[in-house]
Amino acid sequence: MSKFTSKQLTVKSFVVTGSNTNSPSRPKTSHSPAQASELVVFPPFIDDHAATLNEHSKEQTSAEHTSRPTAVPSLKAIQQKSARPGIMSRVATAISGAVASVIGPGHPIIGPSPNSAVYNLEKTYEKNYFKHNTFREEQIGQGTEAEVYLLSNIDKPEVFAVKHTKATKLSKEQTKHDELPHEAKMLLQMILPHPRIVAAFDCLPDLAAPGRHKIYMEYCNAGSLAQQYTHWLSRVRSPMPEVFLLHVLVQGMEALAYLHSGLRYVGKGQYTQDPEHLPIVHADVKEEQFLLSWGLYPLPEIKLADFGTAKFEGQPRPNGLATLCYLAPEDVAICGLEPIKENAWAFHAMSDARTTASDIYAFGLMMYMFASREKKPAKIGTSPGDLRISREYDTPGLLELIQKMLAIDPAERAEASFHPVNGILPQIHLMREARDKLIGARRVPGPTEWAVPPPRGRHVRVCRIVDICICPDESCFDDDHVDGIDEIPASQNDSAPVITDIDGFLDMHTPSVTIDHRCSF
């Protein structure tokens, strides 16, 4: 066990424009709005090398700090923090909520994402990760690209993960400019906080091992989707419960809708859209990349992780190669399935050419594996008409959705959007409603069915169909928190607010909600 003690933070703020035209990694656009976005990067609380690194940061002027979108490598210094939304932003948020309740499902994208959508997430991260003093470090995983450690507070339950990357050769120019690993660049500079994407707080060089970095990230306390699926097949010996299958489909598609189109789910089947968002290809979608995290919800939240192969659509590939059994047919047409030295150029060309359609196909392969109770994904290029799912899953439209995601022609494949032909987000909302109905009917797996059981006292009480009960805390009834709540008494004994649109409420109001720890299934 190693311990670290934090000291007084030196806070420095930076404002980064959404298009970030000065960054060589982000494509330049001539049509992006001039609206500025503020990006948060939170520091870890470790000061072993603060003196050395802070000496380096003194060489930079305040003007250079302002124009630079990346985290300066100081273990004490850099909290890149956005200011509280101004009055106009708060008004815009209120108007968006009002419009969402009036316009109805015929207008699914109700406007640009307000600054408060990101600000609320930042405040949540700050609340969870910035009240610690002494930490304990423990290795919890190791892969080909990195080692993962758990950094936990000695005195409090909050923890976060540290990914210690493998060593890479850096040029003098890269060393001088503190070149970050590709995954850190994507999460810290290119992707704004989103509830379906694992958050990164900072990335710092390992001074004891040049070429290695430590990425400080959100810790997901329920393991991975792959771990959970294996647990059901081998330990519980039962199929994935339908309610959880629909949950993975809904929240996984919310993650892809944001990466591909900048859409943020706000409730009632409606979304806002980040105005300067450019399509991002994850390029390695599979069950191992989805992490689970227990929170307010009776099911663990689904979060997409590992952006080491992610890129902007139409841009050259980063380092790394996607998992071969999750390639799309158009990928295989370029490179085949035999990665040998002689055809390495073909794999490079394939990686450069990958689009958001590749992500959808990989996600479809994963969902079909779950729905068919198989241990491996289906053969690439299988005709969608030949697909059959297990009879345990009888939600209307589920098979058709999976078939649409597995269309061989990318021009006919599903999109995580509202495209009039290929967009499937309206159908995803039907899956969301079906999931919530199953939750209300108490069709939720018990604590013993989870590979990582939920912490005690962290359950939300299921009251009735499509109703999730939150404790009767007065703050939940404030004007800022009433959107998405149906104030119908949850039981005969209390008048707690009842949520009828679970995802929308949690995404927008999690910082303000307190769980009644007396509630349990």
pLDDT above 80 for 174: no
Highest mean pLDDT among 41-50, 194-203, 312-321, 500-509: 194-203
User: What average pLDDT does the segment 426-448 reach?
Assistant: 94
Q: What is the DSSP letter of 375?
A: S
User: In the structure, what pLDDT confidence band is assigned to residue 480 with cuts at 50, 70 and 90?
Assistant: very low
DSSP string covering 443-454: ----GGGSSSPP
Q: In this prediction, what percent of the chain has a pLDDT beyond 70?
A: 60
What counts of helices (H) and strands (E) characterise the chain?
14, 19
- Give the model's pLDDT for residue 271: 97
- Give the model's pLDDT for residue 33: 36
- Give the model's pLDDT for residue 146: 78
Helix, coil or strand: residue 17: strand
Strands (DSSP E) found in 117-232: 134-142, 146-153, 159-165, 200-205, 213-218
User: In the structure, what pLDDT confidence band is assigned to residue 200 with cuts at 50, 70 and 90?
Assistant: very high
- Give the model's pLDDT for residue 159: 82
Distance between CA atoms of residues 350 and 377, nearest Å: 20
Which residues, in sequence order, are CB contacts of 455 under 8 Å at separation 6+?
Answer: 221, 294
Q: What are phi and psi of 203, to 5 degrees?
A: -140, 125
Nearest to 416 by CA among 286, 265, 195, 517: 265
Distance between CA atoms of residues 432 and 502, nearest Å: 9
User: What average pLDDT does the segment 87-95 reach?
Assistant: 52
| C-alpha dist (Å) from residue 120 to 164, 195, 507 | 28, 10, 9
Q: What is the DSSP letter of 423?
A: B
56 vs 292: which has the higher pLDDT: 292
User: What average pLDDT does the segment 443-468 reach?
Assistant: 67
pLDDT above 60 for 106: no
**461-464, strands of its sheet edge to edge:** 461-464, 467-469, 498-499, 485-486
User: In the structure, what pLDDT confidence band is assigned to residue 47 with cuts at 50, 70 and 90?
Assistant: very low
| C-alpha dist (Å) from residue 204 to 72, 152, 212, 502 | 8, 18, 9, 36
Other C-beta atoms lying within 10 Å of the C-beta of residue 452: 17
Contact 225, 328 (CB under 8 A): no
| pLDDT tens digits along 361-401 | 999 999 999 999 999 999 999 999 999 999 999 999 999 99
Q: What is the pLDDT of the chain when averaged over all its residues?
A: 72
| pLDDT tens digits along 110-156 | 889 988 888 888 777 766 665 445 667 777 777 667 788 888 877 77
User: In the structure, what pLDDT confidence band is assigned to residue 11 with cuts at 50, 70 and 90?
Assistant: very low
Other C-beta atoms lying within 10 Å of the C-beta of residue 475: 11
3-state per-residue secondary structure call for 48-89? CCHHHHHHHHCCCCHHHHHHCCCCCCCCCCCCECCCCCCHHH
Other C-beta atoms lying within 10 Å of the C-beta of residue 347: 21
User: What average pLDDT does the segment 391-417 reach?
Assistant: 97
- Give the model's pLDDT for residue 208: 80
Distance between CA atoms of residues 87 and 412, nearest Å: 44
pLDDT above 70 for 511: no
User: What average pLDDT does the segment 441-457 reach?
Assistant: 88
454 vs 39: which has the higher pLDDT: 454
Question: At 272, which helix (H) or strand (E)?
Answer: strand 270-273
- Give the model's pLDDT for residue 120: 82
Other C-beta atoms lying within 10 Å of the C-beta of residue 7: 12
Domains delineated in the chain: 3-218 (3.30.200.20), 225-440 (1.10.510.10), 456-512 (no CATH)
| pLDDT tens digits along 231-280 | 999 988 899 999 999 999 999 999 999 999 999 999 999 999 999 899 99
Write down the pTM of the prediction. Answer: 0.71
Highest mean pLDDT among 85-89, 96-100, 117-121, 249-253: 249-253
